[in-house]
Amino acid sequence: MTTPTTFEDARTRAARLADGLEDIASVIGDQLDMTDEARQLRDKARHIRDDRFRVVVVGEFKRGKSTLLNAMLGGDVLPRKVTECTAVITMIRYASAPTVRVEFDTDRPADDMSLEEFRKHYELSVDDAAAPAAAAERFLHVKHAVISYPIELCRQGVELVDSPGLGAHEARSKRTQKFLPQADAVVFVLNAKQFLSLEEVHFLEAVLLPLGLRNVFFVINGWNLIDESVIRPEDADVERANLEALIRQRLTPFCVVAGKDRSADRIFRVNALGALKARIRKPIAAAMLEESAVPEFEKSLEKFLVDDRAKARADVVLGVVRAVADEAARFVNTQLAMADKSVAEIEAERIAIEPKLQRLRGIRDHIVNFLQSQSAVLQDVLVTSLHEHINRIEKDLPDEVAKFDISPITSKFLVWEGIKDKMPWRSEEDRFQAQVARCLKPQVQRMLERRFADWQQALVRNEMRAVMIDVEKHLQEEAAEYQRVMRELEDKIGAHGSPLQIEEQVKRWLGSEQATGPGTFQLPAMNTLGEVIGLVIMGIVAEVLAELVLHVATGGITLVVSGITAVLRMGWREASLRNQLQQAIVTGIKDGLKDMWMKYAADIRTHVKAGFEGLEGKIAGSIAEEIALIDASLQAIIDKKKEREYSADQERARLEAARTAIADRVARLTAVAAG
């Protein structure tokens, strides 16, 4: 099988696939009156024509994310500031003239504007960076922005998605994470001089790892700066060797695909600014561009998209076409088998096959009942596992909290901090409560997300896999019985379609190219974690402040006692408060985990139930369509026989011509998909 080698080749093949789908739709719609199936193929053709390769670019602030995007775009399109500037998810598509559309997740209509207006209203300013809460509120209901721009890369059907930086506001971060599973490729931009910050490690372990993505490219920017930052050349060699060791340890595991290490095709060391400077020169500075290593990354990304993603899309098209072609074949065969029979004989056949159709409905109901029971089993397994895991976290909390760095709090004279909080001139940002939140929130968040990421991975490997293996085994048993009844039906009416393998029948029921398995159901996103962490911090602060108020009040009384006694008591209370701080943190996290247990357990049940209901609907709908197709085929031949001009010979010729036309077009489309 040959594969396309460039974006242009992939787009040409996609257009030919769409043409082929529409051609088959015309035959089965116009010649066989199978209007629903024809509409399905036309919808798929339209989707293919509109489809794009979506590349999501993520990275922490000041890692060169916008510079890399601009280098890929070949111009200074996106802003590059010394402050974080990406406030909303921004999709970049091709158009002959620059325009911007901002879409919202409310009833508010989309805003169309110029690129300059977008930069003015929807980029983070220095003032926004100083007041992040106000900025977060301002952009809370922005779904995304679409920049249309005359860029050659995007002309080839590539859509670049610029995301807010890691550690951006929680709502924006959630939107970014929702985009990741939809992406054809994810580009994670890192920096050679600030390699793997705590936020970046958190993104690897708590976001990418649980998603199990195998389409991630790592671009380590600023590789050229290693030489510029050292005095002696040998020091640069040592620093590069240390970085390479870290890369092998932390990034290579994400580049293992089907047991093969693909890190040579997925990890790149680049100079994004050098590439941008080379491309905006007239003419392009080719040697400078090649030295930046950005073209090498782009070639690998393009090869992955056109080889892997384009092939996967072609396989999906073939699956849809084969399913519709099988339905058309069964429809035609049924009508051919009935062509020489009278209306009375066909009506009698209809009555005779009803018990077998009822058996098909029975198989459908049996599958639905089984899936409902498995849904309840999986819900109970997951919720019980969650409860046990939270108990383990609570048991480990003293040791986990002992690892926290609370020196930004304990380095201060806490009683005095409490007294200063009473002063009217003290700002909200300086109050003790805000200091505690700034110190503890990122540490609590990282700890909880790490612990729950470990739990999620263990669940996918064990409990969820076991349940889904049972589901797959049961569906295969049901598929075997289903096919046996279908063969009896075909023998009864003398119409034989193409036999399906058991695995193919399961795929057909699921409406996808993949049979069921452990990946069919994913755990719901832990959207409650952010809320819980906020409650945890509030609880910790409340615990600490309660003690602080007590110490301030009694400390004020001791000041009127003898000086030495006052100092001793204040010192004792200060030491006592510091000791109680750690316990207050433990207590606050425990209270937050109780709230999380209730919220996330409910989310799990809702999510699993919805997933199984979707599966039930696909299978029940697929079987219902098969039954309806048999009935419609019989009804169609009855209606034709009632026509005065009906000729069995002419009808056979018409049906044979339609069958041949479909087979020819399916063969041509298969050849297009194969290259």
In this structure, the number of other CB atoms found within 10 A of the CB of residue 620 comes to 17
Given a cut of 50, whether residue 21 has pLDDT beyond it is yes
pLDDT recorded at residue 366: 92
In angstroms, what CA-CA distances link 220 with 251, 272, 667? 11, 9, 45
68 φ, ψ (degrees, to nearest 5): -60, -45
pLDDT recorded at residue 466: 81
CA terminus-to-terminus distance, the chain: 6
Give the integer Cα–Cα distance in Å for 390 and 39.
50
What confidence tens digit (pLDDT) does each residue in 512-522 have?
A: 444 333 344 55
Give the integer Cα–Cα distance in Å for 675 and 673.
5
User: Which residue has tokens 């899936």?
Assistant: 371
Given a cut of 80, whether residue 567 has pLDDT beyond it is no
* b/e sequence 143-152, b meaning 16+ C-beta within 10 Å: ebbbbbbebe
pLDDT recorded at residue 127: 52
Contacts of 140 (CB under 8 A, 6+ apart): 171
Contact 44, 317 (CB under 8 A): yes
Section 542-562 average pLDDT: 54
User: Which residue has tokens 């922490």?
Assistant: 60
Beta strands in 134-286 (DSSP E): 142-149, 158-162, 185-191, 216-221, 256-257, 260-261, 267-270
Section 517-540 average pLDDT: 58
pLDDT recorded at residue 517: 39
pLDDT recorded at residue 490: 76
Beta strand 158-162 pairing with 111-113:
unpaired
pLDDT recorded at residue 395: 93
Give the integer Cα–Cα distance in Å for 514 and 528.
31
Give the integer Cα–Cα distance in Å for 258 and 487.
38
Q: Which fold has domain 52-292?
A: Rossmann fold (3.40.50)
> Of residues 493 and 498, which shows the higher confidence score?
493
Residue type, 249: Q
pLDDT recorded at residue 275: 94
pLDDT recorded at residue 513: 42
Section 233-255 average pLDDT: 87
Contact 337, 498 (CB under 8 A): no
Section 82-99 average pLDDT: 72
Residue type, 549: V
pLDDT tier at 579, thresholds 50, 70, 90: low
pLDDT recorded at residue 505: 67
pLDDT tier at 667, thresholds 50, 70, 90: very high
pLDDT recorded at residue 497: 53
pTM, entire model: 0.62
By the 10 Å C-beta count (0-12 exposed, 13-18 middle, 19+ buried), 356 is classed as middle
Highest mean pLDDT among 74-78, 98-102, 625-629: 98-102
> Of residues 40 and 80, which shows the higher confidence score?
40
Given a cut of 80, whether residue 411 has pLDDT beyond it is no
pLDDT tier at 496, thresholds 50, 70, 90: low
Given a cut of 60, whether residue 592 has pLDDT beyond it is yes
CA triple 189-193-198, angle to 5 deg: 65
Section 165-189 average pLDDT: 70
> Of residues 325 and 422, which shows the higher confidence score?
325
* Torsion angle of the four alpha carbons 584, 587, 589, 590, in this order, in degrees rounded to the nearest 10: 180
Contact 277, 284 (CB under 8 A): no
Section 309-325 average pLDDT: 82
Section 99-119 average pLDDT: 85
The residues spanned by each domain of the chain are 52-292
Q: How many whole angstroms from its chain centre is CA 544?
A: 39
Cis peptide before 283 (omega within 30 of 0): yes
Given a cut of 80, whether residue 25 has pLDDT beyond it is yes
What are 34's two structure tokens? 């199978």
Beta strands in 394-532 (DSSP E): none
Minimal CA–CA distance to 267: which of 300, 235, 236?
Answer: 300
What are 78's two structure tokens? 């996106």
What are 47's two structure tokens? 């989707």
Q: Give the H or E element holding residue 655.
A: helix 648-674
Average pLDDT across the chain, whole number: 78
pLDDT recorded at residue 306: 81
Poorest-pLDDT segment among 81-95, 187-201, 601-615: 81-95
Poorest-pLDDT segment among 37-51, 171-185, 584-598: 171-185
Residue 403's SS3 state is coil
pLDDT recorded at residue 566: 46
> Of residues 413 and 481, which shows the higher confidence score?
481
Section 664-668 average pLDDT: 93
pLDDT recorded at residue 172: 52
Section 524-552 average pLDDT: 61
* Torsion angle of the four alpha carbons 156, 159, 160, 166, in this order, in degrees rounded to the nearest 10: -160
Helix axes 310-338, 463-493, angle to 10 degrees: 30
User: Which residue has tokens 């300059």?
Assistant: 116
pLDDT recorded at residue 519: 40
Given a cut of 50, whether residue 1 has pLDDT beyond it is no
Q: What percent of the chain has pLDDT over 90?
A: 16
CA triple 481-666-51, angle to 5 deg: 100
Given a cut of 60, whether residue 130 has pLDDT beyond it is no
